[in-house]
Amino acid sequence: MSTIAQQFGMTEALEILGVKAINEGTSTGNNHFSNGEIIESYSPVDGQLIGKVKTTTAEDYEKVMQTATAAFLKFRAMPAPQRGEIVRQFGNKLRELKEPLGKLVSYEMGKSLQEGYGEVQEMIDICDFAVGLSRQLNGQTIPSERPGHVMREQWHPIGVVGIISAFNFPVAVWSWNTALAWICGDVCVWKASEKAPLCSIACQNIIAGVLKANNLPEGISCIINGNYKVGEMMTTDFRIPLISATGSTRMGRIVGATVAQRFGKSLLELGGNNAIIITPTADLKVVVPGAVFGAVGTAGQRCTSTRRLIIHESVYDKVRDAIVGAYGQLTIGNPLDQKNHIGPLIDIDAVNTYLAAIEKAKAEGGKVLVEGGVLSGQGYESGCYVKPAIIEAENSFEIVQHETFAPILYLMKYRGEVENAIVLQNGVAQGLSSAIMTNEMKEAEKFLSFAGSDCGIANVNIGTSGAEIGGAFGGEKETGGGRESGSDSWKVYMRRQTNTVNYSDQLPLAQGIKFDL
C-alpha cells in the first residue's frame, strides 16, 4: 500500500471488507474460482495497485447462471415482506461498514471522500425505501363490464436481473437496482466496471454474509468480472429477462439492440448533456454553488454533471465573473483529504479525452475563460489530475453536442424570453437532467410544462447533479428512457398479469358477444 493509502487507513478498510490486497483468486464472488485473465485495479488517486481479480470465463458464467436460476426458484416463493427483511439487514450492514466502503469507493474510483460516503448513504437509503415497498407491491382491482366478474392486476417476479454498472458510481447504481429487484423476488447477476472491480467484491462479501446468516441461497446475488465481452454473455442470454445497463450512449445502443433481438427488456441509463438556465432574476447565492458543484463534483464524471450554463445576456457578465471567481477557490488533490474539492479522473484515457475536448472546443471558436490542463508534481503522480476548465461556446458546436466525462463547463448566452433558453437546453441529443435558476414563477412553470424541459429530471433553483432516491431517476432521448430508484420504478423488475375471475353461474362474453351452443 502507498503512503496515501496507509495514511487514510485503506489497508484496514480492505481487511474489514474482506478484499485482499492482491486478490487473484476471486472472480465471481460466489465460491467459484476462475482461470480467466487478470484485471489489475490501480487507484487514480496515487497510481498504486490496489488489487487484482480474474475475469469471468464462459465456464464460470455458466456456473453463476445455474446458481442464480436455482436460487430464483426458492427466492420468488418467499413472501415479499420477508424479502424486505433481508434488504433491511443488508442496509444495517451498510450502516456498520459505511466508513470503510466509502473509503474504498473514493480510493478506487477517485471521487472525494464525502462523495464516497454519500454513495454508501444512497445504498442505505434505497434499502430503507425498498423495505417499505416490500409491503406495497400492489396491483389493482378493475371493474368488469360483465356481471359476476372481477378483474385484477397483479405483479410477479421476473427472474434473473442482469446489472451492468459504470465506474463513476461503483456501488450506488447497483444498489438502486438490486434492492428493488430483491424485494420483487428477483435474483441479480452484476457485472461491475472493470475500472472499479474491488468495490463489487466488497459489496458481494457484505450481502453474502447476510444471505448465509439467513440460510438463503448464495445465488440471490452474484457478480461477474471483465470487459464488454463478459457483458455480452448477459445481453445475449435468454435466461435473463431484464438487463439494466448504465454507461455511454454508444454502449446503450449495442445493449438495447442485442436484448431487443431476443425480446428481453432493457433499462438503460446513458449519457447526459445537462444544462442550467440562469435568468435575470436568479439568485447568485444559489447559482454559484449549484453550477460549480454540478460541473466539478466527481471531477465532472457524473451523468448528471452540469455541462452547459445558458445565461441571459443581461446578467451574463455578472454570472460569468462569479463562476470564474469561484473556480479560483477550488482545491485539487487527494480525494481522501477532505480539504480538497476535486479528485482525479478515472484513468489516463479519460485525461486524453478531456484534453482532446478542450482542443476541439478551441478549434470550433470557443474562448477559454479558465484554462484546463494536467497537473504534475508531488501529489499528482498518477497523471490523472486535471484542472476544471470553463469555455465560452455556442450550443451548435459539435463538441458541445457530445458528453465529455470531465470537468469542462461551457458558457453561452440567450436573449429575450425564457422560451429561447429552453430551446437551447433541449437542443442536444441527450435528455437526462436540467435546471433553471429563477425567482419568476412564470418562468419556472414554463420550464416544467409540456413545452419546457424535455429531460427526465427538471429542477428549479437547484443544480442538475445529484438526486434523491425517492424519485424515479432517468432520462429521455439518447439517455435511454430507463427509470431507476424511487416512485414506481419497481415495476420494471416484475411482470404484470391481468386476471379475470367469474364468480357467477353464467359465461357472458366480453363486448356482449353471443355464442350459443
Which of 287-303 are b and which e, b meaning 16 or more Cβ less than 10 Å from the residue's Cβ?
A: bbebbbbbbbbbbbbbb
Q: What SS3 class is residue 39?
A: strand
Helix (H, G, I), strand (E, B) or coil at 283: coil
Q: Give the E-state strand segments of 398-502 in sequence order.
A: 408-414, 430-431, 433-437, 457-460, 472-473, 476-477, 484-485, 494-502
Contacting residues for 441 by C-beta, under 8 A, at least 6 apart: none
Q: From 45, 274, 287, 76, select the one nearest 184 (Cα to Cα).
A: 76
Instruction: Return the residue matching grid coordinates 485539487.
Output: 332
SS3 label, residue 157: strand
Collapsing DSSP to helix, strand or coil, 374 comes out as strand
Beta-ladder partners of 456: none
Determine contact, residues 358/372, Cβ cutoff 8 Å.
yes
* Complete DSSP assignment for 300-329: G-STT-EEEEEEETTTHHHHHHHHHHHHTT
Between CA 305 and CA 302 the distance in angstroms is 5
Task: Quote the CA–CA distance of 128 and 92 in Å, as a whole number.
Answer: 9
Alpha-carbon Rg for the chain, nearest whole angstrom, is 24
Residue matched to cell numbers 453550477: 291
3-state secondary structure of 466: coil
Query: What does DSSP assign to residue 387?
Result: -
> Do 46 and 381 contact (CB within 8 A), yes or no?
yes
Q: Which amino acid, one-letter code, is at 503?
A: Y
Q: How many CB atoms lie within 10 A of CB 141?
A: 10
Q: Alpha helix locations (H) across 328-395?
A: 348-363
User: Known catalytic residues?
Assistant: 269, 303
- How far apart CA 355 and CA 386 sit, in angstroms, is 9
Cα separation, 414 vs 431, in Å, equals: 20
Task: Return the bridge partners of 27, or none.
Answer: none
Q: At what angle do helices 10-17 and 197-213 cross, to 10 degrees?
A: 40
Q: Which secondary-structure segment (H or E) carries 85?
A: helix 80-96
| Total length of the chain | 517
d(CA 167, CA 207) in angstroms, rounded, equals: 20
